[in-house]
Structure 1
């Protein structure tokens, strides 16, 4: 056998083998070893003996034109079935053997879809078949997996699968992971008589046991020739030796959630995906939870953790809670890999990725990081979009709620271009933090004609529900009073200020540091139409409600009620599942005050952000209890919704009426300012649903 005769193209194609047979003019081709090399090994380690009674039923898959089966037949093994998907090969081998070996069978068959019943054979002798069907490491291995699945199916209890293989890493890896529970496995070197051969094949011998025990793999290999294979076997044995506390994690158990400690230090939660969740079968991932995020609902509650599992699409997710945020991802992976290995399912035959929470944004320049006694640490960043347009945005984050972009503003060049070469620097030729902020401000400005946040678009488009009242007030020159609780970067107030003829927009913000950031970085302004009040939004709304009730008791006409009340505040305690608003704004006491503070034809708008379902359900129930009509707009899957409440019934009987109201809203706004970059009101209103 010459090594240069080995085929080197796609072994998976039937056409290739037909052409190969023609090219060799019918001469037999032996993969890896001759029968004389193999028989002593198979006899000693697989019990293959022609004296057995009855004679063992032997299957040779992917037989090709090898003389292996004819040599076995002549040795006394007459109950042999050969299969190959090449018809020309099978016809040639039948013609060659039918007279001298009449009891041997030859069948045209795909070895990945065998047409045999279960438990049909005592021995399956695979000489290069698995190597051929698997191909190269970077090829699709589905065919190889199907073949081994068929091997396990058609082999009888106590039957043996003998695989002669070159044992490349992807091949040995698949063999080790496939033959685990209920298989006794051993690996040996194949002695090659031809000293000139460069091939170093192995015998992988797997015996089908009658129990589902997990046994260690025995092997007899030269450490010089097979160091890589020995390492793979030892790694597999390390998994099989896992301690009693980890034995339960060898197999996936749908819906299992287990809390344990790794290495005496790291808290870990093992979650096996629930039945019906869209996951990659047998895929396992490690999800690292930074210390700063551990308290958040998504990682601290069971419901949130199951959502992470679904998002990761892992059959098993191992959530590891970190004790420090200072280590790099590489350091953490090196530290944790030996610890989580005990928790990886034995059937996981792919790599185990390490995942970290991320917001999917392209980070740019950090303009400022500032601490507030009320809000905590806040960051202002300039970022660039990852699309071809490369749009510039400015973002405000609260570290207490890092998964939520508090505000996002579109930046446009001042005077239509970015200045180049005019940056201010210190005496060392470098920018200080203050100079960097000033230089960025000089070059770019916030575009208040654009709303980058979808929920802001929804809040604005939802004002269509009172478009008739807004149009009536504009026509009669009646003052339209708006209150916004929660300033953020001031982008929602500034859009309303720029696009609507609202006479009085009052923004209530609890934190003066937030107010300062909005003015310095996001272009928020105060004048006779826009006022900023530093204080508690709950108290501000309650004051209007109480004043209204007092004036009604005194039979006086009130001029202080609101037409529009928007709640756009984030929660300082996301552990209860609510990111926005603070829970107090969804209680019945506040909702009653809000209704009392509104004109009969006014509207309450609340941005609700929660990964948990219960806060959304409660918000709807309470709104429906207090308000005459309630509408809901889904912004981000099941997480972000905008809820609208009308104090009295409207004339919006159907979707057509709501659509016409949207047209009216844009018409009124268009008389005041251009709507070129405003939200697509028509598309947003299609998503609004009336829930009462």
Structure 2
């Protein structure tokens, strides 16, 4: 049988090579077929097979793994485009990752049930001959048949309903979607979230959704998602933060709590500069929950339209949003010495725009010493810089280097490990801290605990 040169090339690993093709469905009309409702009786006749090789150096005997795309989610950017596939590969530590799922033209339900498949997956045996054929030749070293595990994709979703896809001039395509989230041991919740196509595995914003009647069972939650298209689901903006890393960022304000408490008692509202707005969860919570005066900078006007129309962002005399490059604005403000740039906190929630590096934050240009010095310049003498950090999976030295440069520019550096294996929050102070970080007294700390959960107890000096 003739084999195309592209598939023939899969006999060896080629860094970052991506190949996708259609293949007769080995699971067709089989009880183990998770795609029985995609494309007619018994499921689609063909599967989409996507193969991606690691961008990193590979060992002499490369390891291959595969994943069945969760039923109904084959059009999700996580599984349908290279950027999502790359994140899955980098998370798996394999040299090659094969995705098997319905062809992208196959229909998806309006509301996708995200129930997990039982393990071990009985489909493994049916697709194993295909997986072995897609292993590089070096995997068969010493005439040993390699093990090709079938990985499972797990997240906290119980159900998902796409709301709208829009495009912005800076971030490109983005999707708004309503989801039912497993919050065990707490009750499940309905949330709205925002993702960018360039970084599909990174949730940019999440807010809770309020509905007209309480929903407790998974079935009723899915029904609420189905009915939500009629406008019965409303975002709860300005309340407690959903994403743990945002709670940790807010907790970083505890480092300068005495200064903020003194400002509040004197009748002067503390001021916060938010670099990156997204759906607006962070600036809204700081403005509503802590009564800060907030300036938010967002690079893409379309993102702000989404925040206003779908996530409840409301601007007023205490929350002002500008469109622009936040890093450039920090540098320009420091250079010009603008009198209104005297912030208690500069919070940076910006991710890298380079999808080939995997999910990472902040962008490299933010951590240059001259940019950090500019951020220090626009801070109050008792102010603090708070950074959301996702170290690039390809650079093990990034995090330590960032801490080193912060020590060069700022007086003290503190850290919060968010505990999700991904995010860290770094807190750098303009002046030395001479009082307890988490004392129980004061109005400000009382309100701060409502937004930050128990992260105040996890601040440590580095």
TM-score by length of 1: 0.48
Is contact 1:367–1:437 with CA below 8 Å preserved after alignment? Answer: no
1:16-415 correspondence to structure 2 within 5 Å = 268=53, 285-286=65-66, 292-293=81-82, 298=87, 305=90, 308-309=92-93, 318-320=96-98, 326=104, 335-340=130-135, 343=139, 352-355=148-151, 359-386=155-182, 389-414=187-212
What are the ranges of 5 or more consecutive residues in structure 2 without an aligned counterpart?
1-9, 22-50, 69-77, 107-122, 216-224
Instruction: Give the Cα–Cα distance (whole angstroms) in 2 for the partners of residues 437 and 449 of structure 1.
Output: 21
Mapped contact 1:591–1:623 kept (Cα < 8 A): yes
Structure 2 residue 270 is the aligned partner of structure 1 residue 475:
no
SS in 1 for 2:240: coil
Matches within 5 A, 1:382-461: 382-386=178-182, 389-414=187-212, 417=214, 439=230, 441-446=231-236, 448-461=238-251
2:399 paired residue number? 616
**Structure with the larger helix share:** 1
Shift of 1:541: 1.6
Among 561, 569, 573, which residue is 2:354 paired with? 573
Q: CA offsets, 1:449-471, max 9 Å, x none?
A: 22111110111111000101110
Deviation, structure 1 residue 621: 1.4
User: In 2, are the aligned partners of 1:294 and 1:321 still within 8 Å (CA)?
Assistant: no
Q: Which of 355, 380, 383 in structure 2 is aligned with 1:599?
A: 380
Query: Is contact 1:410-1:452 (8 Å) kept?
Result: yes
Per the alignment, residue 646 of structure 1 pairs with 429
Larger Rg: 1
Aligned counterpart in structure 1 of residue 444 of structure 2, from 663, 668, 686: 668
Give the Å deviation of 1:579: 2.1
Distance between the aligned counterparts of 1:260 and 1:394, measured in 2? 33
Q: Deviations over 1:189-208 (max 9, x none)?
A: xxxxxxxxxxxxxxxxxxxx
What TM-score do the two structures reach when normalised by structure 2?
0.70
In structure 1, list runs of 5 or more residues that go unmatched. 1-244, 250-256, 275-282, 419-432, 552-557
Q: Which residue of 2 aligns with 1:534?
A: 323
Greater relative contact order (Cα < 8 A, sep 6+): 2
Deviations 1:124-146 (A, max 9, x none): xxxxxxxxxxxxxxxxxxxxxxx
* Kept after mapping to 2: 8 A contact 1:333/1:354: no
Indicate the SS of the match to 2:92: helix
> Cα distance 1:381–1:261, how it changes in 2: closer, same or farther (>3 A)?
closer
| Matched-pair contact (CA < 8 Å) for 1:605–1:643 | yes
1:470 aligned counterpart, secondary structure: helix
1:335-392 deviations in Å (ceiling 9; x for gaps): 5443339636789889733347665533411111112221111111111123562211
Task: Please state whether the residue corresponding to 1:362 is helix, strand or coil.
Answer: strand
Q: Which range is displaced more, 609-618 or 561-570?
A: 609-618
2:298 equivalent among 499, 509, 526: 509
Find the counterpart in structure 2 of residue 586 from structure 1: 367
2:289 to 499, 504, 516: 499
